[in-house]
Structure 1
Amino acid sequence: MTAATHPAGAASAGEALRRWRELRRLSQLELSIRAEVSTRHLSFVETGRSRPSREMVLRLADPLDLPLRERNRLLLAAGYAPAYPETALAAPRLAAVRAAVRRVLAGHEPYPAAVIDRGWHLVDANDSLTVLTERVAPDLLAGRVNVLRVSLHPDGLAPHIANLAEWRGHLLHRLARQVELTGDEELAALEEELRGYPGAGRDRSAEVPGPDGIVVPLRLRHDGGELCFLSTVATFGTPLDVTVAELSIESFYPADERTAAVLRKRAGS
């Protein structure tokens, strides 16, 4: 998705609403029914013949399933102040959030867990994450670390993943879905970069997991053997802050006893 088609690049709130509606593959009638507004009024808003109220913008944002960041952008385009704050994670206001995240990370030891933001940048992690990063080139772990780049780059984790094609397909499928839902240009650029890595391929149909499995595991070559992980993703259930809404915690669990034993030994437990 390019900047020209991104809804946030629209000249007006009405144009942005129309682009979001088209991105969600909804007709004006479908959106008007879901938002409980008249089709005529929605048409007037999209064409600029009627300026939507603040309440109308938020009402339309719900059935469009817009992220909090995009709701703020839509409000700004309509001439209103943002409805949702975006607080720095280090701010005192988010102390309870930071504490909750640290408890989750610490409680997950000796298994790896990481906190990532909307752009897949590493925000925090527990000590056990090193089992996934110890063979990654130092330059990929310097500065603002992108976990997808670390995972799929030829100098990153990729050469050590036994089921690389399967795991890469899983990650790219998640990223493509996120691009579709958010319309984010930076994520689209990241997806383009990752698909350009050697062996990544560009056929998305080949990335859909087969029907025989239960979940897609991460199989990591390690010290002459193989570690096998299952992963889960957790988010805050009722966020009203953009920063909190865009945080997620990815936790890795051992899929077999050998992996569990190796991780317990590394932790000295």
Structure 2
Amino acid sequence: MPTLASHLTRPLLLAALFAAAAAHAQDAQVASAAASTAASREAPSRHLAPGFTTRAADSRLLVLPADMELFSISAGGVVEPRNDWTEAAQKNFAAGLASQRARLGTQVTELNALQADEFAEVTALHRAVADAIQLHHRGGWMELPTKNRALDWSLGDAVRPLKERTGADYALFTWVRDSYASSERKLAMVALAALGAISLGGEQTGYASLVDLNTGRIVWFNQLSRMSGDLREPAPAVETVEALLKGFPALK
């Protein structure tokens, strides 16, 4: 027959076991959180090249004209270039970059379109490499195992003419493609939606990259892909610039 002592001891033992289990679970959570924090600190940013974090305070930045084109989508879904929109977008985008001087720095050199034409081979090479980054650096089965998830891409000595011509330490390249549904396309989308069909309107895609002109390495890269944004108007264009430059390396 259970004694009075056993009736008193059993709840105490159960309480002790529950307390020990809770303490163990809490310790495990703390250890897991610490390990996760340590791993996040050790994991390199997918936007930065290995070993690169900031630009030197006295470094000089070269800004090249954006490679940009805007399109209209017809009722039938045909994409047609709009030179008037592209011209307006170039001006709005340039003004948006000018508004980011606190982020870009004070020692900034800009090339106009005519000057940039002299370096068409460099910009074409950069476009090819940036396209490869967009394809292989976003994660998934297209990742290159040899890169080990690192932003490890370079233009090599091809950037030397830019360095010699401008004396800059870094160059900022930008590329944007933007499309907008025409009025007829919007009506067609509404009609198709009523029938249960899904049709897409415009899309804004682009990238921005920072190239070290001393080594040719792409040290920072950011990409944009969304169904919003409008480069045809000044205020929305500033928002697009800010989105592209998110995480741009600071001066220190």
- TM value normalised by structure 2: 0.25
Could you say which structure has the greater relative contact order, defined with CA pairs below 8 angstroms and 6 or more residues apart?
2
Bigger fraction of residues in strand: 2
Which entry has the higher C-alpha Rg, 1 or 2?
Answer: 2
- TM value normalised by structure 1: 0.24
